[in-house]
Structure 1
Amino acid sequence: MMNSANANSFRRRHEAGNEFVPPADVQIVTSGGRSIPAHSAILASASPVLEKMLYRCRISWNSQRIIRILGVPCDAVLALVQFFYSSREGEEAMEKYGMHLLVLSHAYQVKRLKRWCEEGVAARLRAEVVVDVLKLAKLCDAPWLYQRCMRLVAKDFAAVTQSEGWRFIQKHDPLLELEILQFLQDADQRKKRWMREKRDQEMYQLLSEAVECLQHICSDGCTVVGPHDGKPPSRSKGPCKFHTCGGLQFLICHFATCSRKLSPGGCTHCKRMWQLLQLHSSICDQSNSCKVPLCK
Protein backbone atom coordinates (compact mmCIF):
# COMPACT_ATOMS: atom_id res chain seq x y z
CA MET A 1 0.00 0.00 0.00
CA MET A 2 1.37 3.44 -0.95
CA ASN A 3 2.30 5.68 1.94
CA SER A 4 -0.50 8.29 1.89
CA ALA A 5 1.68 11.16 3.17
CA ASN A 6 4.31 10.62 0.47
CA ALA A 7 1.74 10.14 -2.25
CA ASN A 8 -0.28 13.22 -1.29
CA SER A 9 2.82 15.38 -0.96
CA PHE A 10 4.10 14.23 -4.32
CA ARG A 11 0.71 14.81 -5.91
CA ARG A 12 0.38 18.36 -4.54
CA ARG A 13 3.84 19.36 -5.77
CA HIS A 14 3.52 18.01 -9.29
CA GLU A 15 -0.16 18.00 -10.17
CA ALA A 16 -0.91 21.65 -9.55
CA GLY A 17 2.47 23.12 -10.50
CA ASN A 18 3.69 26.58 -9.52
CA GLU A 19 5.34 29.64 -11.07
CA PHE A 20 8.57 27.68 -11.64
CA VAL A 21 7.25 24.21 -12.45
CA PRO A 22 4.37 23.57 -14.88
CA PRO A 23 1.58 21.21 -13.80
CA ALA A 24 2.04 17.50 -14.38
CA ASP A 25 1.00 16.31 -17.85
CA VAL A 26 1.35 12.55 -17.28
CA GLN A 27 -0.47 10.17 -14.96
CA ILE A 28 1.35 6.93 -14.10
CA VAL A 29 -1.26 4.32 -13.22
CA THR A 30 -0.11 1.53 -10.89
CA SER A 31 -1.66 -1.72 -9.69
CA GLY A 32 -4.94 -1.14 -7.89
CA GLY A 33 -5.84 1.85 -10.08
CA ARG A 34 -3.72 4.34 -8.16
CA SER A 35 -2.04 7.13 -10.11
CA ILE A 36 1.11 9.22 -9.72
CA PRO A 37 1.42 12.62 -11.46
CA ALA A 38 4.61 13.30 -13.38
CA HIS A 39 6.09 15.46 -16.13
CA SER A 40 6.68 14.00 -19.55
CA ALA A 41 9.97 15.89 -19.96
CA ILE A 42 11.38 14.34 -16.76
CA LEU A 43 10.26 10.83 -17.69
CA ALA A 44 11.56 11.11 -21.25
CA SER A 45 14.98 12.34 -20.10
CA ALA A 46 15.27 9.58 -17.48
CA SER A 47 14.21 6.58 -19.57
CA PRO A 48 14.37 5.96 -23.34
CA VAL A 49 11.61 3.39 -22.97
CA LEU A 50 9.25 5.87 -21.30
CA GLU A 51 10.16 8.42 -23.96
CA LYS A 52 8.89 6.08 -26.68
CA MET A 53 5.79 5.22 -24.66
CA LEU A 54 4.94 8.89 -24.26
CA TYR A 55 4.87 9.35 -28.02
CA ARG A 56 2.68 6.30 -28.54
CA CYS A 57 0.31 6.51 -25.62
CA ARG A 58 -3.27 7.55 -26.12
CA ILE A 59 -4.48 10.95 -24.97
CA SER A 60 -7.31 10.79 -22.44
CA TRP A 61 -10.33 13.12 -22.29
CA ASN A 62 -8.48 15.67 -20.13
CA SER A 63 -5.49 15.75 -22.52
CA GLN A 64 -3.21 13.98 -20.05
CA ARG A 65 -0.97 11.15 -21.10
CA ILE A 66 -1.44 7.91 -19.16
CA ILE A 67 1.30 5.31 -18.62
CA ARG A 68 0.50 2.04 -16.89
CA ILE A 69 3.17 0.37 -14.74
CA LEU A 70 1.55 -2.75 -13.34
CA GLY A 71 2.67 -5.92 -11.59
CA VAL A 72 4.75 -4.25 -8.86
CA PRO A 73 3.76 -2.53 -5.59
CA CYS A 74 2.59 1.07 -5.85
CA ASP A 75 5.32 2.26 -3.51
CA ALA A 76 7.98 0.73 -5.77
CA VAL A 77 6.63 2.77 -8.70
CA LEU A 78 6.54 5.87 -6.48
CA ALA A 79 10.18 5.27 -5.51
CA LEU A 80 11.04 4.96 -9.22
CA VAL A 81 9.35 8.28 -10.07
CA GLN A 82 10.93 10.03 -7.11
CA PHE A 83 14.33 8.77 -8.30
CA PHE A 84 13.64 10.38 -11.69
CA TYR A 85 13.13 13.73 -9.99
CA SER A 86 15.88 13.66 -7.38
CA SER A 87 18.38 10.98 -8.56
CA ARG A 88 18.89 10.17 -4.88
CA GLU A 89 18.96 6.64 -3.53
CA GLY A 90 16.87 5.82 -0.49
CA GLU A 91 17.96 2.99 1.78
CA GLU A 92 14.41 2.45 2.99
CA ALA A 93 13.14 2.03 -0.57
CA MET A 94 16.00 -0.36 -1.34
CA GLU A 95 15.28 -2.39 1.79
CA LYS A 96 11.60 -2.83 0.87
CA TYR A 97 11.55 -2.76 -2.93
CA GLY A 98 15.10 -3.44 -4.10
CA MET A 99 14.18 -6.39 -6.32
CA HIS A 100 11.15 -4.58 -7.76
CA LEU A 101 13.27 -1.52 -8.52
CA LEU A 102 15.84 -3.74 -10.21
CA VAL A 103 13.13 -5.10 -12.51
CA LEU A 104 11.78 -1.60 -13.22
CA SER A 105 15.22 -0.14 -13.87
CA HIS A 106 15.96 -2.95 -16.33
CA ALA A 107 12.59 -2.74 -18.05
CA TYR A 108 12.79 1.04 -18.50
CA GLN A 109 16.59 1.16 -19.08
CA VAL A 110 17.50 3.41 -16.16
CA LYS A 111 21.20 2.51 -15.97
CA ARG A 112 22.19 4.45 -12.87
CA LEU A 113 19.27 3.08 -10.87
CA LYS A 114 20.04 -0.42 -12.10
CA ARG A 115 23.64 -0.23 -10.87
CA TRP A 116 22.46 1.03 -7.50
CA CYS A 117 19.86 -1.76 -7.28
CA GLU A 118 22.45 -4.42 -8.11
CA GLU A 119 24.70 -3.16 -5.33
CA GLY A 120 21.83 -2.81 -2.87
CA VAL A 121 20.39 -6.27 -3.54
CA ALA A 122 23.87 -7.84 -3.41
CA ALA A 123 24.53 -6.21 -0.04
CA ARG A 124 21.40 -7.87 1.35
CA LEU A 125 21.91 -11.35 -0.11
CA ARG A 126 21.07 -14.30 2.13
CA ALA A 127 21.18 -18.02 1.51
CA GLU A 128 17.37 -18.27 1.82
CA VAL A 129 16.72 -15.92 -1.12
CA VAL A 130 19.87 -16.15 -3.22
CA VAL A 131 18.32 -18.56 -5.76
CA ASP A 132 15.43 -16.13 -6.37
CA VAL A 133 17.87 -13.25 -6.80
CA LEU A 134 19.97 -15.41 -9.13
CA LYS A 135 16.97 -16.02 -11.40
CA LEU A 136 16.19 -12.32 -11.33
CA ALA A 137 19.79 -11.41 -12.20
CA LYS A 138 19.61 -13.66 -15.26
CA LEU A 139 16.30 -12.17 -16.38
CA CYS A 140 17.50 -8.59 -15.85
CA ASP A 141 20.88 -9.09 -17.53
CA ALA A 142 22.82 -8.24 -14.36
CA PRO A 143 26.09 -10.24 -14.64
CA TRP A 144 27.78 -8.60 -11.64
CA LEU A 145 24.86 -9.51 -9.38
CA TYR A 146 24.77 -12.98 -10.95
CA GLN A 147 28.41 -13.59 -9.98
CA ARG A 148 27.79 -12.38 -6.44
CA CYS A 149 24.88 -14.81 -6.13
CA MET A 150 26.95 -17.69 -7.48
CA ARG A 151 29.75 -16.98 -5.02
CA LEU A 152 27.30 -17.05 -2.12
CA VAL A 153 25.81 -20.32 -3.41
CA ALA A 154 29.30 -21.85 -3.54
CA LYS A 155 30.15 -20.52 -0.09
CA ASP A 156 27.01 -21.74 1.70
CA PHE A 157 25.56 -24.42 -0.55
CA ALA A 158 24.22 -26.52 2.33
CA ALA A 159 21.98 -23.66 3.50
CA VAL A 160 20.94 -22.86 -0.09
CA THR A 161 19.67 -26.40 -0.65
CA GLN A 162 17.26 -25.93 2.28
CA SER A 163 15.60 -22.88 0.71
CA GLU A 164 12.27 -22.77 -1.10
CA GLY A 165 13.96 -21.32 -4.17
CA TRP A 166 16.23 -24.34 -4.53
CA ARG A 167 13.34 -26.77 -4.18
CA PHE A 168 11.43 -24.78 -6.79
CA ILE A 169 14.16 -24.91 -9.44
CA GLN A 170 14.68 -28.61 -8.79
CA LYS A 171 11.05 -29.17 -9.85
CA HIS A 172 10.57 -26.46 -12.47
CA ASP A 173 13.95 -25.20 -13.73
CA PRO A 174 16.42 -28.07 -14.19
CA LEU A 175 18.58 -25.96 -16.53
CA LEU A 176 19.30 -23.42 -13.79
CA GLU A 177 19.95 -26.25 -11.33
CA LEU A 178 22.46 -27.75 -13.78
CA GLU A 179 24.05 -24.34 -14.29
CA ILE A 180 24.54 -23.91 -10.53
CA LEU A 181 25.97 -27.41 -10.12
CA GLN A 182 28.34 -26.83 -13.04
CA PHE A 183 29.51 -23.57 -11.46
CA LEU A 184 30.15 -25.38 -8.18
CA GLN A 185 32.17 -28.06 -9.96
CA ASP A 186 34.21 -25.43 -11.83
CA ALA A 187 34.76 -23.49 -8.60
CA ASP A 188 35.98 -26.64 -6.87
CA GLN A 189 38.38 -27.37 -9.73
CA ARG A 190 39.66 -23.78 -9.64
CA LYS A 191 40.22 -24.07 -5.90
CA LYS A 192 42.14 -27.33 -6.30
CA ARG A 193 44.23 -25.84 -9.11
CA TRP A 194 44.97 -22.76 -7.01
CA MET A 195 46.01 -24.90 -4.04
CA ARG A 196 48.22 -27.03 -6.29
CA GLU A 197 49.85 -23.94 -7.77
CA LYS A 198 50.33 -22.52 -4.29
CA ARG A 199 52.06 -25.72 -3.15
CA ASP A 200 54.25 -25.62 -6.25
CA GLN A 201 55.20 -22.02 -5.56
CA GLU A 202 56.07 -22.88 -1.97
CA MET A 203 58.17 -25.81 -3.17
CA TYR A 204 59.97 -23.62 -5.73
CA GLN A 205 60.68 -21.09 -2.99
CA LEU A 206 62.07 -23.77 -0.67
CA LEU A 207 64.26 -25.23 -3.43
CA SER A 208 65.54 -21.77 -4.35
CA GLU A 209 66.46 -21.08 -0.74
CA ALA A 210 68.07 -24.53 -0.41
CA VAL A 211 70.26 -23.94 -3.49
CA GLU A 212 71.29 -20.51 -2.19
CA CYS A 213 71.94 -21.98 1.26
CA LEU A 214 74.12 -24.73 -0.29
CA GLN A 215 76.27 -22.11 -1.95
CA HIS A 216 76.49 -20.20 1.34
CA ILE A 217 77.64 -23.29 3.27
CA CYS A 218 80.23 -24.34 0.68
CA SER A 219 81.59 -20.79 0.25
CA ASP A 220 81.46 -19.40 3.79
CA GLY A 221 80.79 -22.38 6.05
CA CYS A 222 78.37 -22.30 8.91
CA THR A 223 77.92 -23.70 12.41
CA VAL A 224 78.54 -27.40 11.62
CA VAL A 225 79.93 -27.61 8.08
CA GLY A 226 83.04 -25.68 7.07
CA PRO A 227 83.66 -23.96 3.72
CA HIS A 228 85.17 -25.54 0.61
CA ASP A 229 88.75 -24.46 1.45
CA GLY A 230 88.80 -26.74 4.51
CA LYS A 231 88.55 -24.13 7.25
CA PRO A 232 86.72 -25.35 10.38
CA PRO A 233 83.06 -24.35 10.79
CA SER A 234 82.36 -21.16 12.72
CA ARG A 235 80.42 -22.37 15.72
CA SER A 236 80.44 -18.89 17.23
CA LYS A 237 78.12 -17.51 14.56
CA GLY A 238 74.62 -16.51 15.56
CA PRO A 239 71.45 -17.91 13.98
CA CYS A 240 71.83 -18.31 10.22
CA LYS A 241 69.62 -16.18 7.98
CA PHE A 242 68.63 -19.29 6.04
CA HIS A 243 65.82 -21.26 7.65
CA THR A 244 66.93 -24.43 5.88
CA CYS A 245 70.60 -24.16 6.87
CA GLY A 246 70.47 -26.46 9.90
CA GLY A 247 68.69 -29.24 8.05
CA LEU A 248 70.91 -28.88 5.01
CA GLN A 249 74.10 -29.09 7.10
CA PHE A 250 72.78 -32.30 8.66
CA LEU A 251 72.07 -33.62 5.16
CA ILE A 252 75.61 -32.77 4.01
CA CYS A 253 77.18 -34.51 7.04
CA HIS A 254 75.03 -37.57 6.46
CA PHE A 255 75.86 -37.64 2.74
CA ALA A 256 79.58 -37.53 3.48
CA THR A 257 79.52 -40.55 5.78
CA CYS A 258 76.60 -42.66 4.52
CA SER A 259 77.62 -46.05 3.16
CA ARG A 260 74.30 -46.69 1.40
CA LYS A 261 74.33 -43.81 -1.04
CA LEU A 262 75.73 -45.98 -3.84
CA SER A 263 74.01 -49.23 -2.88
CA PRO A 264 70.95 -50.57 -4.76
CA GLY A 265 67.86 -48.76 -3.57
CA GLY A 266 70.08 -46.18 -1.94
CA CYS A 267 69.37 -43.89 0.98
CA THR A 268 66.43 -41.48 1.03
CA HIS A 269 68.48 -38.66 2.55
CA CYS A 270 71.28 -39.17 0.07
CA LYS A 271 68.84 -39.14 -2.84
CA ARG A 272 67.62 -35.73 -1.69
CA MET A 273 71.19 -34.49 -1.53
CA TRP A 274 71.92 -35.81 -5.03
CA GLN A 275 68.81 -34.06 -6.34
CA LEU A 276 69.86 -30.78 -4.72
CA LEU A 277 73.36 -31.07 -6.19
CA GLN A 278 71.88 -31.81 -9.62
CA LEU A 279 69.54 -28.86 -9.36
CA HIS A 280 72.40 -26.57 -8.42
CA SER A 281 74.60 -27.78 -11.25
CA SER A 282 71.79 -27.33 -13.79
CA ILE A 283 71.46 -23.62 -13.02
CA CYS A 284 75.02 -22.71 -12.03
CA ASP A 285 76.74 -20.47 -14.59
CA GLN A 286 80.16 -20.48 -12.87
CA SER A 287 80.91 -24.19 -12.73
CA ASN A 288 84.69 -23.69 -13.23
CA SER A 289 85.01 -21.55 -10.10
CA CYS A 290 82.04 -22.86 -8.13
CA LYS A 291 82.83 -24.19 -4.67
CA VAL A 292 79.83 -26.56 -4.47
CA PRO A 293 81.08 -30.17 -4.71
CA LEU A 294 80.48 -32.06 -7.96
CA CYS A 295 79.15 -28.92 -9.68
CA LYS A 296 81.44 -29.20 -12.70
Structure 2
Amino acid sequence: MGMPRDSHGHLTPGRISAQRPVPSSIPRPEYVGKAAPAEYTDGDVYDAETIELIRQSGRIASDAITAVGRAIVPGVTTDELDRIGHDYIVAHDAYPSTLGYRGFTKSVCTSVNEVICHGIPDDTVLVEGDIVNLDITAFKNGVHGDTNRTFVVGEGSQEARDLVERTKLALDRGIKAVAPGRQVNVIGRAIEMYAKRFGYGVVRDYTGHGVGRAFHSGLIIPHYDAPQYDDVMEVGMVFTIEPMLTLGGIEADIWPDEWTVSTRDKSLTAQFEHTLVVTERGAEILTPYEA
Protein backbone atom coordinates (compact mmCIF):
# COMPACT_ATOMS: atom_id res chain seq x y z
CA MET A 1 0.00 0.00 0.00
CA GLY A 2 1.20 3.47 -0.87
CA MET A 3 0.60 4.94 2.52
CA PRO A 4 0.56 7.56 3.94
CA ARG A 5 -2.06 9.09 1.65
CA ASP A 6 -5.66 10.08 2.14
CA SER A 7 -8.71 8.50 0.50
CA HIS A 8 -8.22 10.72 -2.56
CA GLY A 9 -4.63 9.58 -2.98
CA HIS A 10 -3.25 12.93 -1.80
CA LEU A 11 -0.15 12.95 0.36
CA THR A 12 -0.32 13.14 4.12
CA PRO A 13 2.62 13.45 6.53
CA GLY A 14 4.46 10.21 7.18
CA ARG A 15 6.88 8.96 9.82
CA ILE A 16 10.29 10.61 9.74
CA SER A 17 13.30 8.47 10.65
CA ALA A 18 16.18 9.49 12.90
CA GLN A 19 18.67 12.00 11.55
CA ARG A 20 21.53 10.36 9.65
CA PRO A 21 25.06 10.99 10.96
CA VAL A 22 27.85 12.78 9.09
CA PRO A 23 31.48 11.92 9.97
CA SER A 24 33.03 14.61 12.17
CA SER A 25 35.91 14.85 9.66
CA ILE A 26 33.57 16.57 7.16
CA PRO A 27 33.35 20.36 7.68
CA ARG A 28 29.85 21.71 8.38
CA PRO A 29 28.30 24.92 7.05
CA GLU A 30 28.23 27.66 9.70
CA TYR A 31 24.46 27.39 10.24
CA VAL A 32 24.42 23.77 11.44
CA GLY A 33 23.25 23.72 15.05
CA LYS A 34 21.85 27.26 14.81
CA ALA A 35 18.30 28.50 14.28
CA ALA A 36 19.27 30.43 11.14
CA PRO A 37 22.31 31.16 8.96
CA ALA A 38 24.50 34.19 9.58
CA GLU A 39 23.74 37.21 7.41
CA TYR A 40 25.71 37.03 4.16
CA THR A 41 27.21 40.26 2.80
CA ASP A 42 30.00 39.18 0.43
CA GLY A 43 28.10 39.45 -2.86
CA ASP A 44 27.44 36.97 -5.65
CA VAL A 45 30.45 37.48 -7.95
CA TYR A 46 33.24 34.92 -7.57
CA ASP A 47 36.78 34.53 -8.87
CA ALA A 48 37.73 31.63 -11.17
CA GLU A 49 39.24 29.61 -8.33
CA THR A 50 36.07 29.75 -6.21
CA ILE A 51 33.86 29.04 -9.24
CA GLU A 52 35.88 25.86 -9.74
CA LEU A 53 35.16 24.86 -6.12
CA ILE A 54 31.43 25.58 -6.59
CA ARG A 55 31.58 23.39 -9.70
CA GLN A 56 33.08 20.55 -7.61
CA SER A 57 30.30 20.84 -5.00
CA GLY A 58 27.73 21.09 -7.80
CA ARG A 59 29.05 17.94 -9.44
CA ILE A 60 28.71 15.98 -6.20
CA ALA A 61 25.11 17.21 -5.78
CA SER A 62 24.26 16.38 -9.39
CA ASP A 63 25.87 12.93 -9.28
CA ALA A 64 24.03 12.25 -6.01
CA ILE A 65 20.71 12.96 -7.76
CA THR A 66 21.71 10.60 -10.57
CA ALA A 67 22.49 7.88 -8.00
CA VAL A 68 19.19 8.41 -6.18
CA GLY A 69 17.29 8.59 -9.48
CA ARG A 70 18.34 5.03 -10.32
CA ALA A 71 16.47 3.82 -7.22
CA ILE A 72 13.16 5.47 -8.14
CA VAL A 73 10.73 2.61 -8.74
CA PRO A 74 7.26 1.80 -7.42
CA GLY A 75 7.60 0.54 -3.84
CA VAL A 76 10.59 2.63 -2.72
CA THR A 77 10.13 5.05 0.20
CA THR A 78 11.28 8.65 0.08
CA ASP A 79 13.30 7.90 3.24
CA GLU A 80 15.27 5.27 1.31
CA LEU A 81 15.95 7.87 -1.40
CA ASP A 82 17.29 10.18 1.32
CA ARG A 83 19.57 7.43 2.60
CA ILE A 84 21.07 6.88 -0.85
CA GLY A 85 21.62 10.60 -1.40
CA HIS A 86 23.05 11.14 2.08
CA ASP A 87 25.47 8.24 1.72
CA TYR A 88 26.64 9.42 -1.71
CA ILE A 89 27.36 12.97 -0.55
CA VAL A 90 29.17 11.88 2.61
CA ALA A 91 31.20 9.29 0.65
CA HIS A 92 32.51 12.20 -1.44
CA ASP A 93 33.64 14.12 1.65
CA ALA A 94 30.87 16.69 1.27
CA TYR A 95 28.13 17.79 3.67
CA PRO A 96 24.44 17.64 2.64
CA SER A 97 23.54 21.34 2.91
CA THR A 98 19.88 20.88 3.88
CA LEU A 99 20.78 18.71 6.91
CA GLY A 100 20.40 21.09 9.86
CA TYR A 101 19.49 24.11 7.71
CA ARG A 102 16.88 26.06 9.72
CA GLY A 103 15.96 22.80 11.45
CA PHE A 104 15.48 20.64 8.33
CA THR A 105 16.45 17.08 9.36
CA LYS A 106 17.15 15.37 6.03
CA SER A 107 19.79 15.43 3.28
CA VAL A 108 17.42 15.40 0.27
CA CYS A 109 14.16 17.23 -0.38
CA THR A 110 11.70 14.74 -1.88
CA SER A 111 8.66 16.54 -3.30
CA VAL A 112 6.00 14.17 -4.64
CA ASN A 113 3.07 15.02 -6.95
CA GLU A 114 1.27 18.09 -5.50
CA VAL A 115 4.23 18.99 -3.26
CA ILE A 116 5.88 22.05 -4.81
CA CYS A 117 9.11 21.94 -2.79
CA HIS A 118 10.79 21.13 0.54
CA GLY A 119 9.13 17.73 0.99
CA ILE A 120 10.64 15.82 3.92
CA PRO A 121 11.67 12.21 3.21
CA ASP A 122 9.58 9.79 5.29
CA ASP A 123 7.84 6.41 4.97
CA THR A 124 5.80 7.54 1.95
CA VAL A 125 5.88 4.73 -0.64
CA LEU A 126 6.17 5.83 -4.26
CA VAL A 127 3.62 4.29 -6.60
CA GLU A 128 3.34 3.92 -10.37
CA GLY A 129 2.53 7.29 -11.96
CA ASP A 130 3.87 9.51 -9.16
CA ILE A 131 6.31 12.26 -9.98
CA VAL A 132 9.04 13.08 -7.47
CA ASN A 133 11.44 16.00 -7.34
CA LEU A 134 14.86 15.43 -5.77
CA ASP A 135 16.59 18.59 -4.54
CA ILE A 136 20.16 18.15 -3.32
CA THR A 137 22.79 20.68 -2.28
CA ALA A 138 26.35 19.67 -1.40
CA PHE A 139 28.80 21.72 0.71
CA LYS A 140 32.53 21.19 0.24
CA ASN A 141 35.59 23.46 0.35
CA GLY A 142 33.43 26.16 1.92
CA VAL A 143 30.94 26.42 -0.95
CA HIS A 144 27.53 25.00 -1.90
CA GLY A 145 26.35 23.56 -5.22
CA ASP A 146 22.54 23.26 -5.56
CA THR A 147 20.46 21.34 -8.10
CA ASN A 148 17.20 19.43 -8.54
CA ARG A 149 15.37 17.23 -11.04
CA THR A 150 11.91 15.70 -11.30
CA PHE A 151 11.47 12.00 -12.07
CA VAL A 152 8.43 10.03 -13.20
CA VAL A 153 7.83 6.82 -11.22
CA GLY A 154 7.26 4.01 -13.70
CA GLU A 155 5.41 5.00 -16.85
CA GLY A 156 3.31 7.95 -15.66
CA SER A 157 0.49 9.70 -17.52
CA GLN A 158 1.13 11.68 -20.70
CA GLU A 159 0.08 14.80 -18.78
CA ALA A 160 2.64 14.14 -16.03
CA ARG A 161 5.43 13.30 -18.49
CA ASP A 162 4.71 16.47 -20.49
CA LEU A 163 4.78 18.63 -17.35
CA VAL A 164 8.14 17.19 -16.32
CA GLU A 165 9.67 17.57 -19.78
CA ARG A 166 8.37 21.11 -20.27
CA THR A 167 9.54 22.20 -16.82
CA LYS A 168 13.03 21.09 -17.82
CA LEU A 169 12.67 23.03 -21.08
CA ALA A 170 11.47 26.07 -19.10
CA LEU A 171 14.72 25.93 -17.11
CA ASP A 172 16.62 25.78 -20.40
CA ARG A 173 14.75 28.91 -21.58
CA GLY A 174 15.66 30.70 -18.37
CA ILE A 175 19.33 29.78 -18.74
CA LYS A 176 19.38 30.99 -22.37
CA ALA A 177 18.15 34.41 -21.14
CA VAL A 178 21.24 34.86 -18.95
CA ALA A 179 23.74 37.47 -20.18
CA PRO A 180 25.95 40.06 -18.49
CA GLY A 181 24.32 43.51 -18.42
CA ARG A 182 20.76 42.19 -18.35
CA GLN A 183 18.47 42.38 -15.32
CA VAL A 184 17.61 39.07 -13.62
CA ASN A 185 13.92 39.62 -14.41
CA VAL A 186 14.55 38.61 -18.05
CA ILE A 187 15.02 35.07 -16.74
CA GLY A 188 11.56 35.02 -15.17
CA ARG A 189 9.99 36.57 -18.24
CA ALA A 190 11.45 33.87 -20.51
CA ILE A 191 10.24 31.08 -18.20
CA GLU A 192 6.73 32.49 -17.75
CA MET A 193 6.24 33.12 -21.49
CA TYR A 194 7.14 29.49 -22.19
CA ALA A 195 4.99 28.03 -19.39
CA LYS A 196 1.97 30.11 -20.45
CA ARG A 197 1.96 28.39 -23.85
CA PHE A 198 0.76 25.24 -22.07
CA GLY A 199 -1.49 26.95 -19.52
CA TYR A 200 0.81 25.97 -16.64
CA GLY A 201 0.93 27.90 -13.38
CA VAL A 202 4.31 29.43 -12.48
CA VAL A 203 4.88 29.36 -8.72
CA ARG A 204 5.85 32.81 -7.38
CA ASP A 205 6.39 32.18 -3.67
CA TYR A 206 9.72 30.40 -4.19
CA THR A 207 12.54 31.62 -6.40
CA GLY A 208 16.06 30.99 -7.55
CA HIS A 209 18.82 32.49 -5.42
CA GLY A 210 22.45 33.41 -5.15
CA VAL A 211 24.53 30.43 -3.99
CA GLY A 212 28.18 29.74 -3.26
CA ARG A 213 29.74 30.65 0.06
CA ALA A 214 26.15 31.02 1.31
CA PHE A 215 23.38 28.46 0.68
CA HIS A 216 21.03 31.41 -0.05
CA SER A 217 22.85 34.71 -0.49
CA GLY A 218 19.85 37.05 -0.60
CA LEU A 219 19.92 37.54 -4.40
CA ILE A 220 16.50 36.59 -5.83
CA ILE A 221 16.02 35.08 -9.30
CA PRO A 222 12.31 35.18 -10.25
CA HIS A 223 10.65 32.61 -12.52
CA TYR A 224 7.82 34.93 -13.57
CA ASP A 225 7.69 38.40 -15.10
CA ALA A 226 8.77 40.50 -12.10
CA PRO A 227 10.32 43.86 -13.08
CA GLN A 228 10.94 44.72 -9.42
CA TYR A 229 13.86 42.25 -9.38
CA ASP A 230 16.31 44.48 -11.22
CA ASP A 231 19.73 43.19 -10.15
CA VAL A 232 22.05 43.33 -13.14
CA MET A 233 23.86 40.14 -14.08
CA GLU A 234 27.62 40.37 -14.32
CA VAL A 235 30.41 38.01 -15.30
CA GLY A 236 31.30 35.69 -12.41
CA MET A 237 27.89 35.95 -10.73
CA VAL A 238 26.66 32.58 -9.43
CA PHE A 239 23.00 31.73 -8.78
CA THR A 240 20.32 29.09 -9.25
CA ILE A 241 17.39 29.05 -11.66
CA GLU A 242 14.72 26.60 -10.45
CA PRO A 243 11.27 27.02 -12.02
CA MET A 244 8.29 25.29 -10.41
CA LEU A 245 5.36 24.75 -12.78
CA THR A 246 1.89 23.39 -11.97
CA LEU A 247 -0.96 21.86 -13.94
CA GLY A 248 -3.36 24.13 -12.04
CA GLY A 249 -3.19 27.09 -9.67
CA ILE A 250 -0.19 28.58 -7.89
CA GLU A 251 -1.76 29.10 -4.45
CA ALA A 252 0.14 27.03 -1.90
CA ASP A 253 -0.33 25.60 1.57
CA ILE A 254 2.47 24.95 4.05
CA TRP A 255 2.06 21.78 6.12
CA PRO A 256 2.26 21.77 9.94
CA ASP A 257 5.90 20.59 9.61
CA GLU A 258 6.58 24.18 8.40
CA TRP A 259 8.53 22.89 5.38
CA THR A 260 6.33 20.92 2.98
CA VAL A 261 4.63 23.20 0.43
CA SER A 262 1.76 21.81 -1.65
CA THR A 263 -0.54 23.24 -4.29
CA ARG A 264 -3.85 24.26 -2.72
CA ASP A 265 -5.79 22.66 -5.60
CA LYS A 266 -3.64 19.49 -5.32
CA SER A 267 -2.52 19.85 -8.94
CA LEU A 268 0.71 18.17 -10.03
CA THR A 269 3.83 20.30 -9.91
CA ALA A 270 7.35 19.78 -11.27
CA GLN A 271 10.68 21.55 -10.84
CA PHE A 272 14.20 21.57 -12.28
CA GLU A 273 17.19 23.52 -10.98
CA HIS A 274 20.78 24.26 -11.94
CA THR A 275 23.48 26.34 -10.30
CA LEU A 276 25.18 28.43 -12.98
CA VAL A 277 27.74 31.17 -13.47
CA VAL A 278 27.31 34.18 -15.75
CA THR A 279 29.98 34.23 -18.46
CA GLU A 280 30.89 36.71 -21.22
CA ARG A 281 28.80 34.62 -23.62
CA GLY A 282 25.85 33.80 -21.37
CA ALA A 283 25.80 31.11 -18.71
CA GLU A 284 27.74 28.00 -17.81
CA ILE A 285 25.96 25.26 -15.83
CA LEU A 286 27.91 24.21 -12.73
CA THR A 287 25.62 21.22 -11.97
CA PRO A 288 25.52 19.34 -15.29
CA TYR A 289 24.54 15.69 -15.73
CA GLU A 290 24.33 13.11 -18.49
CA ALA A 291 20.72 12.93 -19.69
Same fold (TM over 0.5): no
The structure carrying a bigger strand percent of its residues is 2
Higher relative contact order (CA 8 A, sep 6+): 2
The structure carrying a bigger helix percent of its residues is 1
TM-score, structure 2 as length reference: 0.20
